[in-house]
Amino acid sequence: MQTLDEILKSRRDTRHFTSDAVPDAVIQKALQAGHWAPSVGLTDATKYYLITSDEIKKAVKELFLDYDSKAANQTDNKQQKADYKALKLEAIEEAPLGLVICYDRSVLNNFTIGTVGSNEAIKFSSVCAAQNIWLSLTAQGYSMGWISILNYYQFKQLLGLPEHIEPLGYFCVGKPATNYDNQPMLQQLNWKQKSESPFVEEINRMPTKNDFSPIVLKEKRDPKDGISEDLKFKIDNKAKPTGSLGILEKLAQQIGELFQTLEPKINQPNMVVFAADHGIAQHGVSAYPQDVTRQMVTNFLEGGAAINVFCKQNNIKLSIVDAGVNYDFSPNANLISAKIAKGTQSFLDKAAMSATELKMCFSKGAAVVDAIAKTGSNCIGFGEMGIGNTSTASVLMSIITKIPLEDCVGLGTGVSDAKLIQKQMILKKAIDNYQGSTDLDSQLAYFGGFEIMQMASGMLAAYQNNMLILVDGFICSVAFLIAHQKNPKIIENAIFCHCSAEQAHVKLLDYLGVQAVLQLGLRLGEGTGCAIAFPIIQSAVAFLNEMASFESAGVSSNA
């Protein structure tokens, strides 16, 4: 009989199996071992699904191959790519049994001990179960291989898993065909050597505190002497009547002053969509369920949303930021992870976020934009996605501007008139329940949304990087309002791309004293207004740089 140490040491991520069937008694004993694993709050959140169908195995294999090719293309050089392709990383069709180990997110709908600090704890419990299963199989002369190179969204669809069930991966189960010379396969093939002993270090003093300090605002340099006058002269002396290009002339003046040149250029425009969930959504303030946030982010990543279409049309790079969606996206998703938590709390009777979480928002939002600025981009648009965020934005607008709440609340995703009245009553009650400080940051933490705060921070960072800031609709304008409260000079960099169909938006633009480029009745969000307005902004730059003057065209400028 093997000792525990021997079992632990001989556990292998198996890729070669015999064709021997796995007896029911073996798998049932292993699954019972998984059930005995630690479970946070005794939630029993771990679920198991057995796969014996050749058709399903083949489909899972195709998912693997798709992502395996992407993994191969991310290797560092040709030799590493060749070495990677030579590895056997799965036995999906060869293994006699497939096992899908999952965790059930729905347990988080009720208070669960151990998950308040981290919703990830239920996932950790399932990983403990996977390890127990592995050890039990090893002790019984069988083994398991973990396949994680998959598109998890497609994987869930293929298996027909409920939305709240999240897989750790696909596990191949069977009798091992080799013991790999008692070494991990990757080590045996010299891909990488496992260290002989674990990393251990004692922490005996408190580290320097990271307070996630907000952006330190710096004074930008003074404009070059006469640049404003020179730009006005250049614009007025184009071969056209003075002022005849309307708002294009104002945009050209603004952009030239911002970049301090008579020949401005927009470089590598980037549209950034921040997404997060809102606790207030649980009170029925939206026409859509909260999970639509996750669904739409997935749609962004798959290229099927309106913002994808318009960014592609106008050659704008699109970046998607997970600021706090109530979902675990795959680590290999084309997503910027800036998650604070899986959605805010409901501010109906408690703070949406803590003071620390607010500081984290300002830190992470700035970092996203700073990274984009380093790529050479000098133009950034802001968009958002988050069911319930018009409610959050309406409350923030009201408490900052002192405009009555009724004038700040609109239809959002398209609620009915009856729902609108209910929405107003819920939000008014939330404001009446607030007993906190009147300082701005306290109110932002209590009523804010992760994506709105990160946008506000990102806008401030864009100002610091001297970028042109494109502001989308109502919610993005509320984020700008917050940034403007922090630094009024940010208005110099901002272009308000459209006035949305949300009734509060025109009031907010009037409050800021700005004019929107477009009036199209949009209320989609996602940054669509920015992407649609971008060709007009390019036209302003184009006429400034390329249109002939009266003199160069030989046209008389006399009236």
Q: Write out the catalytic residue numbers.
A: 526
Please state the φ and ψ torsions of residue 27, each to the nearest 5 degrees: -70, -35
The Cα–Cα gap between 96 and 528 comes to 49
Strands 46-51 and 270-276: unpaired
> What is the 3-state secondary structure of 267-326?
CCCEEEEEEECCHHHHHCCCCCCCCHHHHHHHHHHHCCCHHHHHHHHCCCEEEEEEEECC
Q: How far is CA 532 from CA 14, 207, 340, 494, 521, in A?
A: 52, 48, 30, 16, 13
Q: How many CB atoms lie within 10 A of CB 75?
A: 14
Give the helix, strand, coil percentages of the chain, each rounded to 5. Answer: 45, 10, 40
Radius of gyration of the chain from Cα atoms?
28
The Cα–Cα gap between 342 and 264 comes to 41
Torsion of CA 235, 241, 243, 245, to 10 degrees: -80
Contacts of 176 (CB under 8 A, 6+ apart): 12, 14, 16, 17, 18, 142, 143
Q: How many CB atoms lie within 10 A of CB 317?
A: 14
The Cα–Cα gap between 180 and 87 comes to 13
Cβ contact 311:317 at 8 Å: yes
DSSP secondary structure, 80-130, as one string: HHHHHHHS----TTTSSEEEEEEEEGGGGGS--TT-SS-TTHHHHHHHHHH
Contacts of 330 (CB under 8 A, 6+ apart): 150, 151, 152, 153
For residue 340, give the 3-state DSSP assignment: coil
Give Cα 25 to chain centroid, integer Å: 44
The Cα–Cα gap between 396 and 398 comes to 5
Cβ contact 457:362 at 8 Å: yes
Strands 46-51 and 317-324: unpaired
Which residue reads 């988080």 in tokens? 108
Start-to-end CA span in the chain (Å) = 104
Tokens in use for 286? 């939206």
Number of helices (H), then strands (E), belonging to the chain: the values are: 20, 10
Tokens in use for 466? 């001297």
Q: How many CB atoms lie within 10 A of CB 135?
A: 19
Q: How many CB atoms lie within 10 A of CB 302?
A: 13
Give the amino acid at 445: A
Give Cα 200 to chain centroid, integer Å: 34
